[in-house]
Structure 1
Amino acid sequence: MSIFPKRTIPGKTVTIHWNFNTSHLDGAHLYPLVKIGIKDPKNNITMLFEEHVIAFPDQKKSKKESLQKLKYLNKNIPLLVLADYLEGPCKREKLVEILTNIQAGRHYYFTYTIPHDAPLGKYSLISEVHNNGNVKYSKTRLDDHFWVEKISLVTVTGKGKDRTAVIRNHSEERTPVKIVRCSIDLNGHMESEMEAFEMNPKDTKPISISEEKVFLLYNEERETVTLTEEEPIYLVKNHEILSISKKNGLDCLMEKDNDEAYWLSPEAKDLWDKSDGLLSKNSLSEKEKEVLKEMEEQGLIKQTRL
């Protein structure tokens, strides 16, 4: 079996791949009861599939058989499934056998959406094939699991370049994180300094902050937490609108689907240029907030959270 992504957060969905290999059957069909499910960290079980699955014996090899005769329907296996088989010690041992059986096998895909109030930690997959009182388990069961994570900013203390952000791992499992420190020079060029490490279960850790913008990435870098400000609101320009600078020095914005144009005042042009997704709303002056209100009403700038 394979699961992707292997790390997720509450409210998101994981996809589970199960391969039912039937190439070994000889002289008899198989109609077992298949059970596929998920067990959460508190041992609560959610079944995704409980059905009988029919399988037929492979045809006998014949010398007269045409080499061009097809035996299987084409299997469109996602690259993520193949890549997942390359990870983990269990999967390396079974790799040749698994890849050999991929074309002969029958592939099933299940999805599971993690509830918003689900427990954090390690989730295990259940894969059972029941036949004549015997149970066959997944050959990759040692690796058949995924993690549900949550990292949060607890508080920010200090001022200026002597600030400290306190972060917390809410999970019962070790959780990989990455700290990204961004500095911007006078020409607007951004440089990043990065550090990756694992947080211990239920751990709280201080992070020193001297840069203007510092972020924490986790959940395979899909989730971003701002460490310099608690729950900041950022401004981002509407990237579906085209910005045009005229030779006469005037600037306008044009929508793609119609001929409507918005002429920008110098103040609006400045705010448009600065709204790069990392401009905090709290940093605006009162005048800029008035300009922002007008541009929001026109759908030119949007408020967002990372």
Structure 2
Amino acid sequence: MSIFPKRTIQGTTVTIHWNFNTAHLKDKHLCPLVKIGVKDPKGNVTMLFEDHVVAFPEENENKEVVPQKLKYLNKNTPLLVLASYLEGACKREKLVEILTNIQAGRHYYFTYNVPDNAPLGKYTLVSEVHNNGNIKYSKTHLDDHFWVEKISLINVKKEEKIAMVYNHSKEKTPVKIVRCFINSEGCMKTEMEAFEMNPNETKSLSISTGNTFLLYNEEREIVPLLEEKPIHLIKNHEILLVSKSPELNYLMKKDTDEAFSLTSEAKELWDKADGLLTKNSLSKKELEIFKEMEAEGLIKQVRL
């Protein structure tokens, strides 16, 4: 079985792929009872599928020379599923077997909605094929699981340049720290480190004079390591900037005839609104300009 993503957060959706391989059937059909579900860290099971599935035997081989004909409907298998199948080193014979099973098999997809208040930790898949009193389990059962994670910033010691973060999960959680700073040439440079936080661990992290971020959940979740959770400003990327000269700059909205002429101060704020600019860093004059530009939908407030 394959699971995407393998690491997620509360209030999201996980996709589960199950391949019912029927290539081995000869001279008889199969109609087992299939059970697919998810067991949370507290042992509660949510069933996603519980039904009989019919499989038919392969066509008898015709040794006469006949034009090649199609035996299967095309399987639009996602690339991530293929990548999951092909993980690790494979001998050529094994690779051929895997690819044959993908084409010969029947692919099912299920979704599991992670509740907003879901317990954190490791979730295990339930995969059972019941036939004639026997139960067949997934061949990949040792890897049939995913994690629900949460990392929080709990304190910032500004004078000591230290941020305290907490892993709410009872499982180890991989994190990445990104420290950003602007060099003398005005270019952004970064320093990065990756490690695992232990279950329910509180950890001290050094923060830079620029911006420091903690990334987790396969880098989808970003936690700014700042004293207060800031509001960031970002330009509306659906609007086109047209520069006639350094002094003549216009913003053009798409699908309308609207255009906005920018003063030098407004142009400067437009350039600075890169998604990392914080609202509380604006001067009083910049804040007035921002309010005007926000009212026209030119710059937006976002939280990372």
Contact kept in structure 2, 1:155 and 1:230, CA below 8 Å: no
Match of 1:209 among 193, 207, 224: 207
Distance 1:130 1:88 in 2: 30
Taking the TM superposition and a 5 Å limit, the aligned residue runs for 1:33-72 are 33-64=33-64, 66-72=66-72
Distance 2:303 2:135 in 1: 48
RMSD value, Cα: 1.8
Q: 1:248 to 1:148 in 2, by over 3 A?
A: closer
What is the CA-CA distance between 1:215 and the residue it aligns to? 0.5
Q: Which runs of 5+ in 1 are unaligned?
A: none
Q: 1:208 to 1:57 in 2, by over 3 A?
A: same
Distance 1:105 1:220 in 2: 30
What is the CA-CA distance between 1:26 and the residue it aligns to? 1.4
Contact kept in structure 1, 2:158 and 2:227, CA below 8 Å: no
Match of 1:250 in 2: 248
What is the CA-CA distance between 1:199 and the residue it aligns to? 0.3
Contact kept in structure 2, 1:212 and 1:228, CA below 8 Å: no
More divergent stretch after superposition (73-82 vs 195-204): 73-82
Match of 1:27 in 2: 27
Amino acid at match of 1:289: L
What is the CA-CA distance between 1:7 and the residue it aligns to? 0.6
What is the CA-CA distance between 1:292 and the residue it aligns to? 1.0
> Does structure 1 residue 116 correspond to structure 2 residue 116?
yes
Amino acid at match of 2:125: L
What is the CA-CA distance between 1:86 and the residue it aligns to? 3.4
Match of 2:298 in 1: 300
Match of 1:10 in 2: 10
Amino acid at match of 1:22: T
TM-score w.r.t. the length of structure 2 is 0.95
Contact kept in structure 1, 2:127 and 2:138, CA below 8 Å: yes
Contact kept in structure 1, 2:247 and 2:264, CA below 8 Å: no
Taking the TM superposition and a 5 Å limit, the aligned residue runs for 1:105-254 are 105-159=105-159, 162-247=160-245, 249-254=247-252
Contact kept in structure 1, 2:180 and 2:208, CA below 8 Å: no
Distance 2:211 2:139 in 1: 46
Secondary structure of the 2:104 match is coil
Q: 1:118 to 1:86 in 2, by over 3 A?
A: same
Once the two structures are superposed, residues 112-134 of structure 1 have per-residue CA deviations (whole angstroms, 9 ceiling, x without a partner) of 11111000110000111111111
Number of residue pairs aligned between Structure 1 and Structure 2: 302
> Does structure 1 residue 275 correspond to structure 2 residue 273?
yes
What is the CA-CA distance between 1:96 and the residue it aligns to? 5.9
More divergent stretch after superposition (166-175 vs 239-248): 239-248
Q: Percent identity?
A: 70
Amino acid at match of 1:147: W
Secondary structure of the 2:30 match is coil
Q: Which runs of 5+ in 2 are unaligned?
A: none
